[in-house]
Amino acid sequence: MQKIIITGGAGFIGSHVVRRFVKTYPNYNIINLDKLTYAGNLENLRDIENEPNYRFIKGDIVDLEFINTLFDSEQPDAVIHLAAESHVDRSITNPLEFVMTNVVGTVNLLNAARENWKGKYDKTRFYHVSTDEVYGTLGEDGMFTEETAYDPHSPYSASKASSDHFVRAYQDTYGLNAVISNCSNNYGSFHFPEKLIPLAINNIKQNKPVPVYGKGENIRDWLWVEDHARAIDVIFHNAKAGQTYNIGGHNEWKNIDLINLLCTILDKKLGREAGESAKLITYVTDRAGHDLRYAIDAGKLKSELGWVPSITFEEGLEKTVDWYLANEEWLDNVTSGNYQQYYKGQYNNR
């Protein structure tokens, strides 16, 4: 019986990880620890919220006393840490919030783990979920490997890089059993519509302008979120302590090409004339410090642990568009802010 605290489990990727673990491992106890910021949405987990091996606990990883008490009372065997402030634009406006959650919050969890797991580091695991953005930007060629030197450019990536360093420091200094994965951009269901793909789908659907930074030349390597959750599962169960794995889809797309593909898919699905949705594309001033290109070499994960993506980008994008079109209520609740009421209705007495 494993008791695992998954932090940030009400967010986009976290909800997929929670669902996967709850469904795949009925003999595990899964605790979803989440502060429910604007990005945390328990509606993402409606289908599993009554499973006997699942529990939600509302809490802030920046609150050291709360974290220590939680570790004392729950005695978890492992942490899978996804809680973070995750939106680069928000980090440019409010960097300190990113330092608090992404750096201080991570160190609080590491400290609690270090104290609670003394004498049993070989039987416990701290899994830190990170991003490829820590590596900075690429020119036209090359890929990020696990050996690439860190070179973050945004307050978001700097805070994630810092948290990665702390995780390694706790592994090296105290012998904590830690693993890290650095993943490329994710897409899929339950993605908060401030990020590129869900924002574009929502705006195209509503005939609103689709903002594209600069000339849309920035390149990202996209991975279907359920493939990321499966990679986390594989790494969590099989990686040796102290290892880092890059996770990516070998799937580079210029932002403008991706938006055009979405427009084509949505023209068909919404019964519009070919080219109609693309008229909504609106170029806006580029993001400050915008990294040009990210591309992940996930060869180590493939050769050592046998993980490869399960679907193509075209398949995944079509599934994603279908999901957003079929889940209007979810999207309306998120865009109107009503999703925040769900917690009150659902968990008022807990």
Ligand X SMILES: NC(=O)c1ccc[n+]([C@@H]2O[C@H](COP(=O)([O-])OP(=O)(O)OC[C@H]3O[C@@H](n4cnc5c(N)ncnc54)[C@H](O)[C@@H]3O)[C@@H](O)[C@H]2O)c1
Catalytic residues: 132-133, 156
Q: Which residue in 104, 86, 82 sits closest to 5, CA to CA? A: 82
Region of 47-55, 185-193, 294-302, 310-318 interacting with ligand X (CB under 6 A): 185-193
Pairing label, strands 252-254, 219-224: antiparallel
Exactly one of 4, 10, 180, 265 binds ligand X (CB under 6 A); that residue is: 10
For residue 4, give both structure tokens. 């695992």
Amino acid at 330: W
Round to whole Å and give the CA distance between 124 and 110. Answer: 12
Q: Which is nearer to ligand X, 71 or 121 (CB)?
A: 71
Smallest gap from Cβ 63 to ligand X, in A, equals: 8
Q: Which residue in 118, 129, 252 sits closest to 179, CA to CA? A: 129
Find the binding residues for ligand X in span 91-150 (CB under 6 A). Answer: 101, 105, 129, 131
Smallest gap from Cβ 70 to ligand X, in A, equals: 11
Q: Which residue in 13, 50, 15 sits closest to 347, CA to CA? A: 50
Instruction: Quote the Cα angle for 37-43-49, to 5°.
Output: 110
Find the binding residues for ligand X in span 68-87 (CB under 6 A). Answer: 82-86
Q: Which residue in 200, 209, 330 sits closest to 259, CA to CA? A: 200
Using CB under 6 A as the binding rule, whether residue 61 contacts ligand X is answered as yes
Find the binding residues for ligand X in span 25-44 (CB under 6 A). Answer: 34-37, 39-40
Smallest gap from Cβ 36 to ligand X, in A, equals: 5
Using CB under 6 A as the binding rule, whether residue 160 contacts ligand X is answered as yes
> What residues make contact with ligand X under the rule CB under 6 A?
7-8, 10-14, 34-37, 39-40, 60-62, 82-86, 101, 105, 129, 131, 160, 183, 185-186, 192
